[in-house]
Chain A
Amino acid sequence: MRGITTVPDLIDPAVVAELKDLMAGDLEALLQAFRDDSQARLAVARRSWAAGDLAELRSQAHSLKGAAANLGVAGLAAACQGLESAARHGDADAVSSALDLVGELLNASHEAFQRPPYRDA
């Protein structure tokens, strides 16, 4: 797949470390908010794609990208960036595979939240 080799590791440990320090006891609530939010956004993104609403698709991808970056899931943020630019170019194949990749990485992220560095070992 095009560009897959440039995708960074899923997790950026430096961002996660800073996030843990910042949020302290509120980290779990933040992760839960992301779980709810990201699932909803992915669902909206898929519906928009099916309905041919590329603008809405891009907006959802953009929003998801920001949240992913803030939570330190750098790989997911990069996939969202890919989705956003595929939507901008209106490249149907690229959008399709980018959507799949975002879905996959989203699941991977949710699992990662259960382990270090998010959770203490």
Chain B
Amino acid sequence: MNPAVRVLVADDNRVDRMVLATIVRRAGYEVVEAVDGNDALHRFRESRPQLVLLDALMPGLDGFEVAREIKREAGEDLIPIIFLTSLTEADALARAVEAGGDDFLSKPYNQIVLKAKLNALQRMRVMHETMQRQRDEIGRHHARLVQEQEAAKAVFDNIAHTGDLDAPFIRRLISPLAIFNGDVLLAARNPANDLFVLLGDFTGHGLAAAVGAMPLAEIFYGMTDKGFAPAEILREANRKLLGIMPKGYFCCATLVALRFNKQEMEFWNGGLPPGYLRRRGGGVERIESLHLPLGVLADQRFDPATRVLAMRPGDHLLLGTDGLIDARDPAGDPFGYRRLDALVLDLDPAASAFDSVQRAVQSHIGDSGRDDDITLVEITMVAPEAVPERGPLPEGERQGAGAEWTLSYELGPRSLRRGTPLPLLQHIVVEFPELRRHAATIYTVLSELYSNALEHGVLGLDSSRKSSPRGFADYYRERARALEALDGFVRFRFRCDIDAHGIRLDIAVTDSGRGFDYQSLVPGNGTVAYHGRGLRLLRSLCREVHHRGCGNEVEVQLAWDHDGA
């Protein structure tokens, strides 16, 4: 018997107390004696016994009052009380039970009976204590889990913030706690004001699902902001997730870049349900996943090739995660691909797919179902003029003391194949506080100059082919082939002059291509076609645009006064 178990023996009759104390002690317990009711309470508070033997009738406070007080002070702890009273006094028995008595003992005391009762109550007490401890432990675990989830969510919200999700051309349905279902929805504008949207669905639930979302969000926001291309963002995300996530954990994802200036969309889908591109006047294209999810393949085998699709204002892209497909009705039947397909493909062109799908899934689930696993997003193409300006980059700490520099940067075949040099160039440019506020314009100009030099110069592709949807797809297929085989260069020359009055930035780009007959281009007379946009855009942003040589050289001049004009 555990020697630490203390038993309070409270009886005003000295003889009975002596007998009782002796029995209890011989049963292996430690005894605390009290001579009346007040003394009993005092001893109880002082020595916190685990079991109590209480005479019902004592001068001063009687046993019933003492029992009530002990039970009150014990709170959630179980302190069993045995009343010392004769079983013949029915009314005293009732009062004892009411006061919280757990058992009775009548005189003459029988040591075998008392010992058995003490041991039984002690076992009950230990069981109660174990249960309490386990309950508290479960409570603590739960509290810690909730706390950890809140902390994780706070960190995630800081990293993933809403970004550009509140933009008017995005509609979304996503639970605030979606991160713990593994769903991630991110949106951001790149320096050229293109909208990048990433919808991800991590395997698993809870923290395991949330953990991978953080580096993904950081890569997405960081690289989009610096002007990296979708393929580069995807490659980096895949590499990172593969490195950090345990085997068997990955992220199904769709990345979309909506280029308002060019009215086209770049699309990549690895493992998510198909995206639906709904044309404004009618017609739906289903864009299937052609890739494995992020975090599955090694870098060398990962394919970040995107599809480019022409879009017009009012065209919608509808995306969802598996939560949509798996949403079950009360009988357990999932919503499924077939229902989704039938719904979207047959939908009246005037109806909103977003609303229709949301309604259909919710009515499928029924009232009792949970719908916080469902993530649905709809992105609408708008005209470039309808896109709100991206917030300005934070200004530098101090106004620079002027600057004067030139930079020449030439990319050979391997660099051209590797990906866009724009983030690097952009990085140099925004190092100057005076240029930082013009970062969006500079990026857009650089991006136009570079894609013209690469695609029409080095690769010799004919942009007029992009004017039909069929040609559009062919164009990008051919671009990918030509890139593999290319031989040539693109050279940038920057000349920057910042003084007390203003900024002048000259950018000259030379490529190894055959050039073109720029003499026949009449400013302001271009037809409105996809392939015409590039040059028109440059003319609208730059003070001057000149072609030189055989047309393989273009020089633009950007200039601003310090007052912002």
Contact = CB atoms under 8 A, between A and B. Distances in A.
Interface of A: 12, 15, 18-19, 22-23, 26, 29-30, 33-34, 37, 59, 62-63, 65-67, 69-72
B218 interface: no
A67 B57 contact: no
B111 A33 contact: no
Interface in B195-224: none
Contacts of B108: 12, 15, 69-72
A71 B111 CA distance: 13
Interface stretch (B11-19, B277-285, B327-335, B491-499): B11-19
Contacts of B470: none
Determine which residue in B26, B107, B111 has the highest number of CB atoms from chain A within 10 A of its CB, and name it.
Answer: B107
A10 B385 CA distance: 115
5 contacts: A18-B110, A22-B26, A22-B111, A23-B19, A63-B12
B15 A30 contact: yes
B89 to A, nearest CB: 10
A70 B15 contact: yes
B23 interface: yes
B22 interface: yes
Contacts of A33: 14-15, 18
A26 B20 CA distance: 13
Interface string B95-116: 0000000000001111100000
Interface residues of B, number: 17
Contacts of B111: 18, 22
Contacts of B12: 63
Given A37-B15, A70-B109, 4 more contacts: A23-B18, A23-B22, A59-B59, A70-B19
Contacts of A59: 57, 59
Contacts of A66: 13, 16, 107
A53 B364 CA distance: 82
B55 to A, nearest CB: 8
Given A62-B57, A63-B13, A26 B110 contact: no
B35 to A, nearest CB: 12
A96 to B, nearest CB: 24
Nearest to A23: B22
A29 B18 CA distance: 10
Contacts of B110: 18
A34 B111 CA distance: 19
A92 to B, nearest CB: 24
Contacts of A67: 13, 15-16
A12 B57 CA distance: 25
A69 B19 contact: no
Question: Which 6 residue pairs are nearest across A and B when measured between Cβ atoms?
Answer: A67-B15, A69-B107, A69-B108, A66-B107, A70-B108, A34-B15
A71 B23 contact: no
A23 B19 CA distance: 7
A47 B14 CA distance: 21
A26 B26 contact: no
B23 A22 contact: yes
Contacts of A63: 12-13, 57
A18 B12 CA distance: 23
Nearest to B59: A59
A76 to B, nearest CB: 12
A63 B14 CA distance: 10
A63 B15 CA distance: 10
Interface in B16-47: 16, 18-19, 22-23, 26
A71 B15 contact: yes
B9 to A, nearest CB: 13
Contacts of A22: 19, 22-23, 26, 111
Contacts of A37: 13-15
A18 B110 CA distance: 8
Nearest to B88: A81
